[in-house]
Amino acid sequence: MAALPPEAHRPIVVRDVESEELRYFQALEEAFIRLRGAPLLLSPADWQVAQRWRSRGIPLDFAIASLAELFARRRDRGVEDRVSSLRYCARAVESAWKRAEELAGPVRRAPATAFDAKSRLRSLADAVPQGWPRADGLVEQILALEGDAARIEAQLAVLDDRMLAVAGARLTAAEWAELDAWVAARLEPLAERFAPDDVARAAARLRLREMRRRAGLPLLSLFSLDAERLKEEGGE
């Protein structure tokens, strides 16, 4: 896979009419990788699993909690083999959701209000690096968001795009070349197994995710693990 010149990466945003679905997948991907404890590029087949979960109405928080439970059970049993695919987790997550549906019945159809958006926004604001360009302004924008979860999520997507655009603009030509080489090396095993368009989409996701990681940036989403850190660390 040939490296692209820096200007070819601008704009670096990967948003389209499926942006909500993409963010659902990205949050699942992030949670899965952290639970796995090692980097992994999820395949188009894993994307189809995430699509199925979303089409069935499985909330992101529920899916991530089910993944965490599955990994915890594996640790308790002393299983050492790494889970190499989201597909491995599909039965556990879907079975848990089926049980939840059976127990909750029609009540489950009520609007989801299981999380406190304000506390999650505070966690995201706290996760913005202090030395980030215009960090204070970004923090203020995050904390000022209001509305229902869908509206806040859409506004966070805009802020996340802008933050990543800044990250991309800060990279030198040498850093872009190194990042492209890093991505290409990890995608090489997929080149002969998947269609070029699938590989290109995977490359875009992997490039953005790695750029985010290197810059120490949070994923600006109510459903990212960054949004739950305050709760996990014993905050409000």
Report yes or no on whether pTM surpasses 0.75: no
What is the rounded CA–CA span in Å between residue 119 and residue 195? 41
**Would you list the domain boundaries of the chain?**
7-232
Give residue-wise pLDDT tens across range 198-216.
778 778 878 888 898 899 9
- pLDDT tens-digit profile of 40-72? 667 778 888 888 998 888 888 888 888 888 888
pLDDT score, position 104: 63
Residue 9 has pLDDT above 50, yes or no: no
- Predicted confidence (pLDDT) per residue in 114-156, tens digit: 558 899 899 999 999 988 998 899 999 999 999 877 788 888 8
- Segment 155-206, tens digit of pLDDT: 888 898 899 999 999 999 999 999 999 988 888 877 777 778 777 877 887 8
Contact 214, 112 (CB under 8 A): no
**How far apart, in whole angstroms, are the C-alpha atoms of residue 164 and residue 156?**
12
Rg (CA), the chain: 18
Tens digit of each residue's pLDDT (9 = 90 or more) over 74-129: 888 887 777 878 888 899 899 988 888 777 654 344 444 455 889 989 999 999 99
**Which residue, 91, 99, 73, 87, is CA-closest to 32?**
87
Residue type, 225: L
